Amino acid sequence: MRKDTTTAKLTDYERERNKALAKKRSIVEQYFGLSHLHDGAYRARFTTILKNIWDTTCRQIAFNLSRGSKLILST
């Protein structure tokens, strides 16, 4: 995303590009915000990268299953 500064204002194209990116980005970043808020994911739980990758993957799978089941039950 582009950022507006005092010396260089955003063009119309850059504003439209930011809007398009924000729509996609907000969906992805919801997971990070919710995991930070509820799961204590604001810092790494383990000392090795491999364990942290596995932990994050399991959290994402659980989040997607939970959200998917809520979407299926609501329809």
Q: Domains of the chain: which residue ranges?
A: 1-43, 44-75
Tell me the pTM: 0.56
Question: In the prediction, which pLDDT does 65 show?
Answer: 92
Tokens 């980005």 belong to 25
Residues of the chain with pLDDT under 50: none
Residue type, 71: L
Question: In the prediction, which pLDDT does 48 show?
Answer: 94
Kind plus residue range of the DSSP H or E element containing 21: helix 12-38
Question: In the prediction, which pLDDT does 42 show?
Answer: 77
Inter-residue contact 36 to 42 (CB < 8 Å): yes
Question: In the prediction, which pLDDT does 50 show?
Answer: 96
Kind plus residue range of the DSSP H or E element containing 65: helix 49-74
Inter-residue contact 1 to 21 (CB < 8 Å): yes
